[in-house]
Amino acid sequence: MKKNLTTVMFRGTKEQEEQLYAVIEKYRETPGALMPILQEAQEIYGYLPIEVQRMIALRMGISMEEVYGVATFYSQFVLNPKGEIAIAVCLGTACYVKGSGEILDKITQILGLPAGSTTSDGKYSLEATRCIGACGLAPVLTINNEVYGRLVPSDMEGILAKYK
Amino acid sequence: MIRSHVLICGGTGCTSSNSLKIQEAMNNELTAMGLENEVKVVVTGCFGLCALGPIMIVYPEGTFYSNVTIADVHEIVEEHLLKGRPVERLVYHEENESKHHATSLSETTFYKKQKRIALRNCGVINPENIDEYIAMDGYQALGKVLTEMTPDDVIQTILDSGLRGRGGGGFPTGLKWKFASGNRGGIKKFVACNADEGDPGAFMDRSILEGDPHAVLEAMAIAGYAIGADEGYIYVRAEYPIAIKRLEIAIKQAREYGLLGTDIFGTGFNFDIQLRFGAGAFVCGEETALMTSIEGNRGEPRPRPPFPAVKGLFGQPTVLNNVETYANICQIILNGADWFKTMGTEKSKGTKVFALGGKITNTGLVEVPMGTTLREVIEEIGGGIPNGKKFKAAQTGGPSGGCIPASLIDTPIDYDNLIAIGSMMGSGGLIVMDEDTCMVDLARFFLDFTVDESCGKCTPCRVGTRRLLEILDKIIAGNGELEDLDRMEELANYIKSASLCGLGQTAPNPVLSTIRYFRDEYVTHIVDKKCPAGVCKNLLQFKIDLDKCIGCGMCAKNCPADAIIRTDYIAPGHKLASFEIDPKKCVKCGACMEKCKPHAIYKD
Ligand SMILES: Cc1cc2nc3c(=O)[nH]c(=O)nc-3n(C[C@H](O)[C@H](O)[C@H](O)COP(=O)(O)O)c2cc1C
Ligand code: SF4
Ligand code: SF4
Ligand code: SF4
Ligand code: FES
Ligand code: FES
């Protein structure tokens, strides 16, 4: 998986840090704990910036290389914060053959935002995802976890207008 | 007294179209009408007909409602549940027999040819309630093996049944268990379940976990007894929140009932299960990569041998099976190997679940006996291709599989037949394509996926798949040469033979099978620089039929590139001059075509 590094400044709080350390403590005795820790860290921060990875490495007493290696290997771990309005278009096979590529192009065209990026004001992010399991409704997209299905490109303006 | 049950689908498909809000509205409405003690609302797993969701079934009548919305709930409660008159307009009608409406699900063409073993409880029970599972003979198979069978009996039964792995490879399950069964009690062992479901566009395993999680837990405990393991792991995709939640509930309930934990059924047998979450890496579906991932590392495959049965999770002997494989186990134990063997073909026994997707009317989940033909699945169960289009091909096996062209639609589906025609069973994704799908673009789609998902550990896969993709890109851009076809075949065969794991070994299959069955389409792209399906943008032009154009100007208004201008030609019978597209300016966005009411714009 190719990953772009973020340019957004890290704004972690003290509470988040404490939550993170509690998670690491919880998994102290668990074999193979790095994955679940990264997953819960992402829930706390919304993404996994280098700063958070460094805290995890130090606390767990493992190398930064190991943490970074795992964080970049899995597509679910995001190193970029998502936008306030996070749009994800399914490019799973069922959606793709039903034209989700055109839906994605249409959104890029409307927002001027290429897939896999966030606007610099942090307002919108657009990503292509794999099957989200609503193939029966293909093609589908989600905006902040709300699912929209059976789409055609001309629906997009109306849907995006709801999120301003 | 409960006199009616309302079953509402809580699978991912229907949940996405608001089924849980419908449930809430239903409960409120029932309370408002004072029916809350007479009608019980049950949220179930997927019924299979996801295309028509949200789905609702009212028992005892068995009335089957589809496409239900929140606005319909009041009417259903008042008319049907209060006055006993089903709401006709919401009742599912089959397209071919509009008069007849199926009163029971099993009568519909969608269900008639299906045989539900792995899915038998999906859409039938509430997956969050262990008592409903137990009422459907749940945990009886575990009781039977612990009290009446030796571990070797269990393995023999699974061997005799002919069950083969449903995760893709089709390895005999009994044999796998047998390999891991040595030195019971003398060495730590694990049982693991592959719920990583990596094929994009497939959702069989998810639906089983969402609709019948206990069936998997029970089967894993049986596997534990058979090989002498006391610990199990389920590796499930983090992208499956509903499945995860139901598994967590199921594990908790099973522990409370003493069906997981120590001294199960008072027999001294101990077994417990933990969940681990996958994080979106396709290669982690591969067995050795999956285990490396559970151990907390980058999910890179390791060379085999040693096989997991000898050295698996944390270096200990491990049995890993797919979700659907496990979902068959309890039924085999209860009904016997001979019963299971009556279904299927000579070398592929039982049934297979498919996730039907793409250009097909009934997108959803189906389970059919092995040996059912593709035609039966697509034309009968699947309801055919929508919008009067023609069937072109189906893809099985996802990015590792291949396509099956229309000429082979009568092939009985089983492991060996699919391999023989250059595809594979895979885990059960079945994507249907019509004449609007470009096979070159499809091959590119899958290859783009594998390039992205290659873990990079070995060169043939990492570099080879990228080269293949580059050649495909070149063809799609209109710069292909005929020699590229031979180059791709040669490269593909090299990648298949030299890659370390199954991902690389199968990645070229979509390319090879599309070249095999749709060579003409490649040649048209290369020689004529045209895409017959009208998909590859560089090879097509948007044009306006001057005689159809009414001169309304909608296209020009919506063109982001200012590529559309008025001509001085007024078509016979029209008042305004027609428009035309300047091919040099056009960026092929398609916006004009969408806006043109009289369909005067076409792709060439
Ligand atoms: C690249 C790759 C991806 C795979 N993905 C899956 C998967 O998503 N689910 C699955 O059950 N098996 C998958 N498999 C097959 C597993 O390696 C393994 O054979 C299977 O889980 C064994 O279970 P079974 O014998 O019950 O099928 C994959 C294999 C490869 C090479
Ligand atoms: S074949 Fe591909 S996915 Fe498998 S080990 Fe090699 S590089 Fe990794
Ligand atoms: S396809 Fe797009 S760019 Fe080309 S003419 Fe139509 S609207 Fe304009
Ligand atoms: S939208 Fe269609 S009918 Fe109207 S001007 Fe354009 S091509 Fe002609
Ligand atoms: S392929 Fe898009 S939801 Fe499954
Ligand atoms: S998710 Fe409701 S029928 Fe499949």
Tens digits of residue pLDDT in B120-159:
999 999 999 999 999 999 999 999 999 999 999 999 999 9
CB contact under 8 A, A137 and B13: yes
Q: Does the pLDDT of residue B418 top 70, yes or no?
A: yes
Q: Is residue A28 part of a domain?
A: yes
d(CA B352, CA B329) in angstroms, rounded, equals: 14
Instruction: Report the predicted TM-score, pTM, of the whole model to 2 decimal places.
Output: 0.92
Q: Is residue A4 part of a domain?
A: no
Q: Is residue A7 part of a domain?
A: no
Q: What is the pLDDT of residue B103?
A: 58
Do A58 and A93 share a domain, yes or no? no
Do A34 and A99 share a domain, yes or no? no
Gap from CA of B604 to ligand 4 centroid (Å): 17
CB contact under 8 A, B363 and A135: yes
Q: Give the closest residue (by CA) to ligand 3 atom 2.
A: B589
Query: Average pLDDT for residues A132-146, to the nearest whole number?
Result: 88
Do A54 and A122 share a domain, yes or no? no
Q: Does the pLDDT of residue B359 top 70, yes or no?
A: yes
Confidence category of residue B400, pLDDT binned at 50, 70, 90: very high
CB contact under 8 A, B206 and A96: no
d(CA A102, CA B588) in angstroms, rounded, equals: 11
Do A45 and A68 share a domain, yes or no? yes
Query: Average pLDDT for residues B380-397, to the nearest whole number?
Result: 94
Phi, psi of B580 (to 5 degrees): -140, 165
Tell me, what CATH number does A117's domain have? 3.40.30.10
Q: Does the pLDDT of residue B100 top 70, yes or no?
A: no
d(CA A163, CA B22) in angstroms, rounded, equals: 24
Query: Average pLDDT for residues B314-318, to the nearest whole number?
Result: 97
d(CA B14, CA B9) in angstroms, rounded, equals: 6
List all residues 6 or more positions away from B575 whose beta carbon is below 8 Å from its beta carbon.
B551
Query: Average pLDDT for residues A145-152, to the nearest whole number?
Result: 89
Q: What is the pLDDT of residue A37?
A: 95
Do A34 and A96 share a domain, yes or no? no
Pocket lining: B9 vs ligand 6, CB cutoff 6 Å: yes
Tokens of B324: 């659907």
In this structure, of B101-115, B197-211, B246-260, the range with the lowest mean pLDDT score is: B101-115
CB contact under 8 A, B279 and A39: yes
Which residues of chain A have a CB within 8 Å of the CB of B431? 93-94, 97
Do A18 and A53 share a domain, yes or no? yes
Q: Is residue A3 part of a domain?
A: no
Do A66 and A18 share a domain, yes or no? yes
Which residues of chain A have a CB within 8 Å of the CB of B296? 31-35, 70
Which residues of chain A have a CB within 8 Å of the CB of B355? 94, 135
B419-460 pLDDT, tens digit per residue, is 999 999 999 999 999 999 999 999 999 999 999 999 999 999
Pocket lining: B453 vs ligand 1, CB cutoff 6 Å: no
Using the 3D structure, point to which of A73, A108, A123 is the last residue of a domain.
A73
DSSP string covering B108-160:
SHHHHT---STTTTTTTS-TT-HHHHHHTTTTHHHHHHHHH--HHHHHHHHHH
Confidence category of residue B109, pLDDT binned at 50, 70, 90: confident
Classify burial at B581, counting beta carbons within 10 Å of its beta carbon; exposed 0-12, middle 13-18, buried 19 or more.
Answer: buried
Which residues of chain A have a CB within 8 Å of the CB of B199? 93, 131
Do A66 and A126 share a domain, yes or no? no
ipTM for the assembly: 0.89
Smallest CA-to-CA distance from B450 within B165, B170, B200 is with B200
Q: Containing domain of residue A123, as a range?
A: 85-161
Radius of gyration, CA atoms only, chain A: 18
- Count of pairs with CB atoms under 8 A, one residue in A, one in B: 143
Q: What is the pLDDT of residue A4?
A: 59
Please name the amino acid found at residue B143.
G
Candidates B50, B65, B124, B212: which one to mutate for ligand 6, based on the most atoms within 8 Å of Cβ?
A: B50
B29-52 pLDDT, tens digit per residue, is 999 999 999 999 999 999 999 989
End-to-end CA distance of chain B: 66
Do A93 and A141 share a domain, yes or no? yes
Using the 3D structure, point to which of A73, A101, A119 is the last residue of a domain.
A73
Q: Is residue A1 part of a domain?
A: no
Using the 3D structure, point to which of A49, A73, A97 is the last residue of a domain.
A73
Pocket lining: B315 vs ligand 5, CB cutoff 6 Å: no
User: Under a CB-based contact definition with an 8 Å cutoff, are residues B394 and B378 in contact?
Assistant: yes
Q: Is residue A133 part of a domain?
A: yes
Q: Does the pLDDT of residue B283 top 80, yes or no?
A: yes
Do A103 and A152 share a domain, yes or no? yes
Do A93 and A135 share a domain, yes or no? yes
Gap from CA of B571 to ligand 6 centroid (Å): 50
- The three state secondary structure string of B38-57 is CEEEEEECCCCCHHHCCCEE
Q: What value does the mean pLDDT of chain B take?
A: 94
Q: Is A102 helix (H, G, I), strand (E, B) or coil?
A: helix
Share of chain B above pLDDT 70, in %: 98
Q: Is residue A6 part of a domain?
A: no
Do A130 and A62 share a domain, yes or no? no
Q: Is residue A97 part of a domain?
A: yes
Query: What domains are there in chain B, each with its CATH number?
Result: 4-107 (3.40.30.10), 130-340 (3.40.50.11540), 351-434 (3.10.20.600), 439-528 (1.20.1440.230), 541-603 (3.30.70.3270)
Confidence category of residue A1, pLDDT binned at 50, 70, 90: very low
Phi, psi of B7 (to 5 degrees): -95, 125
Domain count, chain A: 2
Tokens of B296: 């907390």
Confidence category of residue A109, pLDDT binned at 50, 70, 90: confident
Pocket lining: B200 vs ligand 5, CB cutoff 6 Å: yes
DSSP string covering A20-32:
HHHHHHHTTT-TT
Phi, psi of B64 (to 5 degrees): -110, 105
Stated as kind and residue range, the H or E segment containing B234 is strand B231-237
Chain-centroid distance, C-alpha B257: 32
Gap from CA of B565 to ligand 1 centroid (Å): 55
Q: What is the pLDDT of residue B93?
A: 79
Stated as kind and residue range, the H or E segment containing B22 is helix B19-32
